[in-house]
Amino acid sequence: AGAQSAGMPQETAAERQRKQQLRKLGYQIDARYYQMPLSQLRELAKQGNVQALTHLAERYLFQLDGHPREPDYEAGFSYREEARAVLQQAYALGNMHAAAMISESYLLEKQPQEAAAWNLVARRSGDTLSADWFLKTKDYQALTDQQKAGAAQQADRLMQSLQQRKPA
């Protein structure tokens, strides 16, 4: 009981800084977005709400894509492509973690060179947490030097394209 009365241990400055960095990169989404119906999420995403865009992509990728029994499932809807489109919009509006999410979506599809290109975008944007994880995957390690060079060139083009989408 003595330990409980002492209260919770104080958060260290390093831990507080790490959490701020994760929030800044776009890792944390407010819990209320997880409760929203799909229609409301889509409406907020249309308005350019970064958290709504990010969670909409999560829902598309992990809840609806390939799950026809889900109540919100729409036959013929291109969930992965739509997820990537809204993640690019979220990135342009400031969610740096969105690039790593796109990278992961390509990794799931066994397209490691595409995944590597988006991973480089994430790394260049400061999202080293996700970027470092990707480098340890067997898919990345199986890429040839030529494929890695191709991914780097593609990342350059992606960065230019994404820069043009950012609001003035």
Q: Would 150 be classed as within a structural domain?
A: yes
SS (H, E, C) 3-16: HHHCCCCCCCHHHH
Which pLDDT score is estimated for 23? 67
Q: Residue 52: which residues within 8 A CB-CB, separation 6 or more?
A: 33, 36, 41, 44, 45
Structural domains in the chain (count): 1
Residue 70 structural domain: 13-165
The per-residue pLDDT for range 57-81, each reduced to its tens digit, is: 999 999 999 999 999 999 999 999 9
The per-residue pLDDT for range 117-157, each reduced to its tens digit, is: 999 999 999 888 888 888 899 999 999 999 999 999 999 99
pTM confidence score = 0.83
Highest mean pLDDT among 4-8, 20-24, 90-94: 90-94
Q: Would 137 be classed as within a structural domain?
A: yes
Q: Please, what is the average pLDDT of the chain?
A: 88
Q: Would 118 be classed as within a structural domain?
A: yes
Q: Would 22 be classed as within a structural domain?
A: yes
* 7 or 147, greater pLDDT: 147
Which amino acid is it at 118? W
Q: Would 151 be classed as within a structural domain?
A: yes
Q: Would 81 be classed as within a structural domain?
A: yes
Q: Would 7 be classed as within a structural domain?
A: no
